[in-house]
Amino acid sequence: MSGAKPAQLDIRLAGTSSLRVTLRPLDSAREFPESPALIQRRWPEPGVELREIDGILNRRIGPLYVTVSNNPLTIDVSARDGRSVQNIVFSEDGDVSFRLDDRPVLGLGEGGPEMGENWREEPLEYDRRGRMHEMAPRWQQKAYGSRNPVPMVIGTSGWAIYMNAPWSKVDLRDERRGRFIPWQPPQGEAATTAELQGRPSPENLVDGVRDFFIFDAGEPETFMADVTRIAGKAVMPPKWALGYMQSHRLLEDDAQMIHIADTFRSKKIPLDAVIYLGTGFTPRGWNTEQPSFTFNPEVFTREPAEAIGDLHKRNVKVVMHIVPPSGDELPRLHGNVPARETETVDSSHIQNHWQGHVPLLEAGVDAFWPDEGDHFDLESRLNRHKMYYQGPLSAQPNRRPWSLHRNGYLGIARWGGWMWSGDTDSSWRTLEAQIMVGLNHSLSLSPYWGSDIGGFYPNEELTAELYIRWFQFAAFTPSFRGHGRTWWTRLPWGWGLDEMGPEEHRTNPLPSELNNRAIEGIARKYAELRYRLLPYNYALAWQARDSGMPLMRPLWLHYPQDGTASGIGTQYLWGRDLLIAPVISKGTMTREVYLPEGLWYDWWTGETHNGGDTTTRVVDLETMPIYVRAGAIIPLDPVRQYISQEVTDPTVLRVFRGSDGEFTLYSDDGTTLNYLEGKAALTRVTWNDSEATLTIAPAPKESARERPDSKQFRIELEPGGEYRLVTYIGRRVTVDFSD
C-alpha cells in the first residue's frame, strides 16, 4: 500500500553498485516521477517487482543483496562481502526512515542552517547529523551563504541515499534513524513564492510515490561514478575558466576597465576574465538598470564591441552579470534552445528569454553570470542552467559555454553551470564555513563551486590578513574569483593602496589596513601556483567528467576507513594528491593538520611526515600548509599570465618518492566540444618506487582517442631534486633513476 492505495514496489539496478527503489500507486500513469535532476535513459528491468508480499523475499540485484519484508514494508540492502549497506522502513504516515550510526553524515547540497544574531559564536555544520533539515532553498548571508538543498544523504560508514521524489525534509535528530518526511506544499492562495521557490512544482507531485536511490558507498569513488550515471556527466569547462577572474562593481568608464586589465598585466598577476556587475546592483554598472541587455552609455564611451575587443587583445575574457525578470513576468522556465516542434514557445520558454543575450555575444561577451532567480521553482532553476548552455551553443556552435549561478541542484553539471556560495559576510568564521560548504556541495550537487574572496559584505573584520588567507584558499577551489562590495579591496593590489575606493556598504574595512604592500606579492605567488598547476587542474576537470570525482574532495573520499579523516571539514584534498589546510583564524602562528595514513611531504619545505596523526605546521602570512602524499606525480607548467598563453619551457613532473604512483594527464583543445567525439588525449605517467623508474605512455580510451602531441618533460625527484629531461612523442618511454 502507498498512501492507502494499492501500490507496486520496483527495485532495479541503477549503476555499478546502486539501486533505484520506486513505490507507486497502481493507478499512477508513469513508471517514474518527473525529475529535472535525472538524465533520460533506459533503466534495467526490475530485479524486484511486487504488488503484495507474504513473508520475506531475498533477491540479488547486481552486486547487492536485497531483502524485502512486510509489516512495515522494509528493505535491507547488503554488499557482496556481507556488509549491511542500509535498512529502509516505509512508515504508515508516509515517512521513509533509514539507519544511522556513529559516523559523520555529509552531503545535502550547498549551505547550512539559518543563523542568528550571534552567528560568529555558533558551531559550524559539516557533519549533517543532529538537526531537522527543512530543505528550504533560500538566500542568506552570514557564514554559509545561500542554501541550495539536495536530498542526497551520504553516510561515511559506506552508504548514501538520494530521495528523488517526493521533495522531503530530512530529519537527522535521532542518533539511530534518519527520516525523509514528505513536504506538504501549501495550496491555493496560501502558496507564496517563498514557500515554493527552489522546490518542485506542486503540479508535478504524485501522491503516494516514493522514488529514491540507495548507493553502496563502501568504495566512495564507485559511489561518485554512480551519481553521474543518474544525474549525467559534467561537461568540460572552457579551459580559461580555471584561471583567475576579477569582478568589478562601480564602474567609471571603459578606460578604467582597460586600465584594470593592464594593471594585472604590468604587475604580472595572472588573469583570465573580468566580470562586470549590472546597474541596480551597483549605481553604475555595465548596463542600464537591471534587468537589461543594453550597454550603459555612461560607461561605454565608444562602441562596446570595440572596448570588449581591446580586452580580448589583452587575452582577457568578458563576463556579464544578468538577472531575470520578476516572478510575475517570468513565472516558470521551460523548453529548449532551439525550441522543439512539440514545445509551446510562450513568454516563459527559455528560447524567448535567451534571445536578449544574443546581441551581447555578437558584441564579444564571452560568458554570463546569471544572478538571483531565487523565485524560480526547481524545474525552472535547472532549465535556467540549461538555457545558459544551449543558448550560447545555438549562437556560437562548438564553443564551450560558461556561466556562474547562485542557485542550482543535482544535475546542473551536465549543463556546464558553476555555482558560488552567494552573498556571505566577511569574517574568519565565514572563511572556515566555506570549506565545509564547498565540500558538501562537491559531494552532492556539482564539482564546480567557489566563494567570493574576502566575503561579499565588508566590515571591520575584513582585513588584509583575512583577504589573503581567503585568496590562498580560493586558489584551490574550482572557481577562483575576487568579488565583493568596496571592491577595490578585492583587487590583489588593493590593500597596498592608500585609499579603498568606493565605499559601498554601511560598514567597511578600517583605513589603517591599507598601505600593506606585502599582500600583492603573496597573491601573485598563489595565483602563479594556480596557473603552474594547470595540467594537474585540467586533469581534475577531466576526472570530474569521466568518473564523477570532484576537484575539491573531503578526506573521506580517499580514506573511507579513517574515522578521524571522515569528520574533518576544515582541510581537504585537491584531487587525489594535494592536501590543503587553509589558515582560518586571525593571527595564526601554527596550523594543526591531520595527515591520513602514509608518508606525506610538506609542499614548501620538502620535509616528510608519517600519516595517521596530526602535525603542527608553523605558518607566516605567506604560508598556507599544503602536503603531498608519497607516490604523487604532480605536473607543473611554467608560469602563465593567462591560460591560453603559449609556453616553451618543459612541463615539470615532480615525483614524490616513498610509494608507487601514477597520474593521467588529459589534453584537448580547451575551447570546443570536439572532446565529445573522442578528440582528446590521455597520457599515463607511472612511478615504480622500488625500481626508481618512471614510465610515460599513451592511455587511449573511447572518450579520448587522440595520440598525445610531442612534449618535453623535466622529471624531478623529491627529495633531492635529481632530474632528467625527456622528449615524449606519444610512444611509451621509461626513464631510469636507479643509476
Mean of the pLDDT values across residues 430-455? 98
Of the candidate ranges 22-31, 315-324, 336-345, 543-552, the one whose mean pLDDT is the lowest: 22-31
Q: What is the DSSP string of 658-727?
A: SS-EEEEEEE--SSSSGGGGT--EEEEEEEETTTTEEEEEE--BTTB-SPPPPEEEEEEEETT--EEEEE
> Considering the chain, what is the average pLDDT of its residues?
96
User: What's the grid cell of residue 388?
Assistant: 545558459
CATH number of the domain to which 194 belongs = 2.60.40.1760
Q: State yes or no: pLDDT of 16 exceeds 80.
A: yes
Final residue belonging to a domain, choices 482, 513, 545: 545
Alpha-carbon span 145 to 435, nearest angstrom: 12
What pLDDT digit, counting tens, does each position of 470-518 carry? 999 999 999 999 999 999 999 999 999 999 999 999 999 999 999 999 9
Q: State yes or no: pLDDT of 4 exceeds 80.
A: no
Final residue belonging to a domain, choices 629, 659, 682: 629
Q: Give 28's pLDDT tier (boundaries 50, 70, 90).
A: confident
Residues 114 and 214 in one domain: yes
What is the predicted pLDDT for the residue at 188?
65
Mean of the pLDDT values across residues 138-155? 97
Is residue 391, in this structure, part of any structural domain at all? yes
Mean of the pLDDT values across residues 68-97? 96
Is residue 553, in this structure, part of any structural domain at all? no
Residues 160 and 116 in one domain: yes
Mean of the pLDDT values across residues 675-693? 97
Q: Provide, rounded to the nearest whole percent, the portion of the chain with pLDDT above 90.
A: 92
Residues 168 and 44 in one domain: yes
Is residue 264, in this structure, part of any structural domain at all? yes
User: Contacts for 723-730 with beta carbons within 8 Å, 24 or more apart?
Assistant: 725/650, 726/696, 728/683, 728/696, 730/698
What is the predicted pLDDT for the residue at 700?
79
Residues 598 and 670 in one domain: no
Residues 118 and 246 in one domain: no
Residues 28 and 134 in one domain: yes
Q: State yes or no: pLDDT of 1 exceeds 60.
A: no
- Pairing outcome for strands 244-248 and 273-276: parallel
CATH number of the domain to which 718 belongs = 2.60.40.1180
Is residue 231, in this structure, part of any structural domain at all? no
Residues 135 and 45 in one domain: yes
Under a CB-based contact definition with an 8 Å cutoff, are residues 371 and 322 in contact? yes
Residues 617 and 693 in one domain: no
Residues 362 and 471 in one domain: yes
Q: State yes or no: pLDDT of 190 exceeds 70.
A: no
Q: Give 196's pLDDT tier (boundaries 50, 70, 90).
A: confident
Is residue 511, in this structure, part of any structural domain at all? yes
What is the predicted pLDDT for the residue at 668?
97
What is the predicted pLDDT for the residue at 469?
98
What pLDDT digit, counting tens, does each position of 242-272 carry? 999 999 999 999 999 999 999 999 999 999 9
What is the predicted pLDDT for the residue at 3?
56
Residues 411 and 324 in one domain: yes
What pLDDT digit, counting tens, does each position of 615-648 carry? 999 999 999 999 999 999 999 999 999 999 999 9
Residues 604 and 690 in one domain: no
Residues 65 and 102 in one domain: yes
Q: State yes or no: pLDDT of 95 exceeds 90.
A: yes
Query: What range defines the domain where residue 302 resides?
Result: 239-545
Domain count, the chain: 4
Cα distances from 217 to residues 86, 115, 545, 596, in angstroms, run: 11, 31, 19, 19
Q: What is the dihedral of CA 92, 95, 99, 104, to 10 degrees?
A: -160
Is residue 514, in this structure, part of any structural domain at all? yes
Is residue 414, in this structure, part of any structural domain at all? yes
Q: State yes or no: pLDDT of 535 exceeds 90.
A: yes
Q: State yes or no: pLDDT of 729 exceeds 90.
A: yes
Q: State yes or no: pLDDT of 312 exceeds 80.
A: yes
What is the predicted pLDDT for the residue at 327?
66
CATH number of the domain to which 256 belongs = 3.20.20.80
